[in-house]
Structure 1
């Protein structure tokens, strides 16, 4: 792993556990086993590091989700696959809530670039959900994607409060009520 990877991985873990403003550069440098000079050679400011962490996290999240969608076998509704992947994310990555929304909360009105990065991530996620529903529901795919994104965002927001497993169970139950009756022949 390169020094940049060490810095990004360490910063992401600390930002997720402690928040962005509560995590200092000195702590990142120490835990990544790099010098401040090395960190600043690659990231000119803490905000640049935050942007890089968010970009890496988005790439990993969307790549993981798209890979599962590519492997999809028509034995369950696609929305259930997405919720299942979110459950894995809570287990393997974090159940501390959405790092993007937490970045927005901490940097809102302070850093337009971070705000834009968060909005772009949410838009890309929504576009992916629309693409998922487009084939099955050419007349309702936007509405279905909106329902799913609200369910997912709600589960992500509640995960740190009620636990990832409980949030996923509630998301599944809600999706079953709102999406299942019309999204898959097994649920008719």
Structure 2
């Protein structure tokens, strides 16, 4: 059973996640979060002294959820090369669920306009872990060696990131699936 403090933190983060993604960090006020989370103002500030503290906690939590979802999705695929392609299917599904709203980490990075080095560091950590995750899959894949492991990992990372951005512009999964077809030829 969750302790009262954790219940409040979860309510705050659930609300912040929904609002930050839907309307952006800069367009979301603390008072709106307090109202929609149905908590007291003091409760928010007890757990998050500043809006930037809340943003960082949101990114950390979202990253943990991202990693768990990714591992669960890829855990259903036994073929090592298939895992690389499943990355694109997983991101297609996530973008469809989000109505092609784009990557929440990139969205936050692009519009938060905070000079707090903790925020930049957290976003960089998230993206570096994503690259490392892909590199591990590449190393295990037994790919055709048209590219080195590092080159293929970078290519997959850039194709995935770029296709997610492109899918948010064109509002279609075709962008991500097109990137998948290119990667399929390389592995």
Please tell me the TM-score bracket, short chain as reference.
0.7 to 0.9
8 Å CA contact retained: 1:6, 1:32: yes
Query: Which of 121, 125, 128 is equivalent to 2:126?
Result: 121
For residue 108 of structure 2, give the secondary structure of its aligned residue in structure 1: helix
Q: Tell me the equivalent position of 2:69.
A: 64
8 Å CA contact retained: 2:160, 2:176: yes
Structure 2 residues not aligned, in runs of 5+? none
Query: Which of 28, 36, 40 is equivalent to 1:31?
Result: 36
**Which whole-Å CA distance do the structure 2 matches of 1:17 and 1:171 have between them?**
21
For residue 79 of structure 2, give the secondary structure of its aligned residue in structure 1: coil
RMSD of aligned C-alpha atoms? 2.0
Structure having greater relative contact order (Cα 8 Å, sep ≥ 6):
2
TM-score by length of 2: 0.87
**Which whole-Å CA distance do the structure 1 matches of 2:48 and 2:112 have between them?**
18
TM-score by length of 1: 0.86
**Which whole-Å CA distance do the structure 2 matches of 1:99 and 1:181 have between them?**
29
The answer to whether the aligner puts 1:143 opposite 2:151 as a matched pair is yes
**Residues 182 and 96 (structure 1), Cα distance of their counterparts in 2 relative to 1, 3 Å cut:** closer
Number of aligned residues: 179
Query: Which of 143, 156, 164 is equivalent to 2:164?
Result: 156
**Residues 126 and 75 (structure 1), Cα distance of their counterparts in 2 relative to 1, 3 Å cut:** closer
Query: Which of 97, 104, 129 is equivalent to 1:99?
Result: 104
8 Å CA contact retained: 1:103, 1:114: no
Question: Runs of 4+ in structure 1 displaced over 3 angstroms?
Answer: none
